[in-house]
Amino acid sequence: MKYQAIIKEIPKCIVFSARQTIPNYAALNALVPALGAKVAAANPGLKCAEPDYCFNIYHDGEYKESDIDVEICQAVTSFGKDGEGVVFKEMPAVTVASVLHKGGYDSLGAAYAFTFAWVQQNGYTVCGDPRESFIDGIWNKESEADWLTEIQVPVEKN
């Protein structure tokens, strides 16, 4: 796969988030929709930010196949009620190395490898945990080949 990286600024935003350790990446397929339903039920009228910004932050510091420390985040327009493992908070603006990955999640490793190599080769230092922003996926595309995920690695210039 051929990738390109850009440096971009992610603006600050309000999110609801839930952090937990999951057994594997497949667990996200059930966890994310259930989380959204739980938050919506507890916060009637809560609206997602436009454009949509749904992302996961991986807090392990390295790639893991199991027991993954993940924080699931959804940008929203206002604060809501915390509870049952869900917190609302403001995420600060962050500068990231951004790489777009087209296709299934099972091949995201190549996008991560490219991103971290690009960061090192272009005079940047990683300064935060990586994120995956889900642009297109099972919820709006019939073919896995059309899924689009943005890898976002927080960086600072050396």
Confidence of residue 94 (pLDDT cuts 50, 70, 90): very high
State residue 29's pLDDT score.
Answer: 83
Both tokens of 37, joined, read 């339903």
Give the mean model confidence (pLDDT) for residues 40-54.
95
* 55 vs 127: CA distance, rounded Å: 18
Confidence of residue 139 (pLDDT cuts 50, 70, 90): confident
pLDDT value at 121 more than 70: yes
Give the mean model confidence (pLDDT) for residues 97-113.
92
Please state the length of the chain: 158
Give the mean model confidence (pLDDT) for residues 58-72.
90
Closest by CA position to 156, among listed 131, 129, 123: 123
Confidence of residue 61 (pLDDT cuts 50, 70, 90): confident
* 104 vs 48: CA distance, rounded Å: 25
pTM, to two decimals: 0.92
* 124 vs 81: CA distance, rounded Å: 38
Identify the residue with better confidence: 61 or 147.
147
State residue 154's pLDDT score.
Answer: 98
pLDDT value at 76 more than 70: yes
Pairing of strands 94-102, 124-126: unpaired
Q: What is the CATH number of domain 5-157?
A: 3.20.80.10
State residue 25's pLDDT score.
Answer: 84
Measured at the alpha carbon of residue 68, what is the angle toward residues 128 and 63, in degrees to the nearest 5? 60
Helix residue spans in the chain (DSSP H): 28-42, 108-121
Buried b (16+ CB within 10 A) or exposed e, 93-127: ebbbbbbebbbebeebeebbebbbebbeeeebebe
Domain ranges in the chain are: 5-157
